[in-house]
Every structure is written in structure tokens, then in C-alpha cells.
Structure 1
Amino acid sequence: MSLNVVTLVGRVGGDPDVKFFESGSVVCNLTLAVDRRTRNNDQPDWFNLELWGKTAQVAADYVRKGSLIGVSGALKFESWQDRNTGATRSKPVIRVDRLELLGSKRDNDAGSMNNYGGDDEF
């Protein structure tokens, strides 16, 4: 048995980066700052998030820099070749399956809509 589940709550670091494809698919990329529980909580941990489909569209419509959100998904690693050195590079990305808007109504302008997951739940 294997398990790859990540659950995070934090504040969005910038407005969503949304891309629409000719096929009709949509992807949204965000960064999320999450406070780590330590004595000197000076620096947050930053995570790269990737959302697809209707969940991505909801993020594009309702999430802004500073929004408090909760996400759950799976950890994956994106790999690429560095153009200058030719070295293989990689970064961790959370592939989000579920998005929750946690801020107040005023924070996210979402009205009563606050919990989104997967394309089949919207």
C-alpha cells in the first residue's frame, strides 16, 4: 500500500496564474505560505500548487493574493533541463484535488461558496 496525501492551510502568495488550453482544459498555479509551528515562527514554508479543471476555475475566480485557503492533494516533482547548464532540475508541486476558501466573505468575495473539490463535485 502507498499513500501520497498533503493537506495545507495558509495564505496565497500572489494572484492566480491561469492558463486556458484549446482543448478546454484550464490550469491554475499558486504559491501558498504556511506557518510552521516553531518557537521562532519568522519565516513561512512556501509551496507551489497546481489546480486543474473546475477547481482551477474556482481558484481563478475567487482566490487572490493574501486569501486564506485550505488544500489537499498529492505531492509530485516536476523535472526539466536547465537551459544554461544542461543539468536536470526539479521542484516539488502539490497537485490539488480539493480547495477550501477559509477567509471571511469579505476576504474572498465568495458568498456562500466555500468548499470545492474535483471536477465532479462542482
Structure 2
Amino acid sequence: MSLNIVNLVGRTGTDPEIRYFDSGSVKCRLTLAVNRIRRRDEGPDWFELEIWGKTAEIAANYTKKGSLIGVQGSLKIDTWSDRNTGVNRSKPIIRVDRLDLLGSKRDNEGYNSDNDEF
């Protein structure tokens, strides 16, 4: 048996970046800042989110930097070869299957995007 499930609640660190492909697919990219319960003084953990399809369009239309969201998905590792050095690189990405919009419109309007604290 194998299990790859990630559940996170936090605030978006960027405005959504949405891409439409010729195939009709839609992809949205966001970053998510998640505070640790017992280690708030260390700052948030940052995660890159990858969202596809109708959920991607919802994220693009209803979130912005500072929005409070919950996500459920799976962890994937992107790998590539650095163009300049040829060194193999990798980064973890959360492939989102479910997106919950947790904050109200009023919460998002009150967020100061010039302040990076969440």
C-alpha cells in the first residue's frame, strides 16, 4: 500500500499565474505560506501549488496574494537539468486536487499586499 496525501491551510504568497494550453488544459500556479503551530517565530513554510482544470480557473478568479485557502493534493517532485551548469535539480510541488476558499471577500480586501507577513 502507498499513500501520498497532503493537506495544507495557509495564505497565498502570490497572485495566481494561469496558463491556457492549445489542448484546452488550464494550469494555475500559486505559492502558499503555512505557519507552524509551535514555531511561529521561525516564519512560514512555503509551498508551490500546481492546480489544473476547473479548479485552476476557480483559483485564478477567486484568490489573490494573501487569500486564506485550504488545499488537498499530492506531493510530486519536478526534476530538470540546469541549462547553465548541467546539474540535475529538483523541487517539491503540491499537485492540488481540492481547493477550499476559506477567507471571505472582506478578509482579502483587508490584506495589505505591501506587507509580506501572514
Give the shorter-chain TM-score range. Answer: 0.7 to 0.9
CA 102–40 in structure 1, closer or farther in 2 if over 3 Å, else same: closer
Percent identical across equivalent pairs?
67
1:8-47 equivalences in 2 (<5 Å): 8-47=8-47
**What TM-score do you get using the length of structure 2 for normalisation?**
0.87
**Once the two structures are superposed, what CA deviation does each residue of 1:16-62 show, in whole Å capped at 9, x if it has no partner?**
01000011110000000000122453310000000000000000100
CA 67–25 in structure 1, closer or farther in 2 if over 3 Å, else same: same
* Unaligned segments of structure 2, at least 5 residues: 110-118
Question: Pairwise CA RMSD of aligned residues?
Answer: 1.4
> Between Structure 1 and Structure 2, which shows a larger proportion of helix residues?
2
Task: For 1:108 and 1:59, locate their aligned partners in 2 and report how far apart those are by CA, in whole Å.
Answer: 14
Matched positions, count:
109
**What TM-score do you get using the length of structure 1 for normalisation?**
0.85
Give yes or no for the alignment of 1:4 onto 2:8: no
**Once the two structures are superposed, what CA deviation does each residue of 1:42-89 show, in whole Å capped at 9, x if it has no partner?**
310000000000000000100100000000000000000001110110
What SS does the corresponding residue of 1:57 show, helix, strand or coil? helix
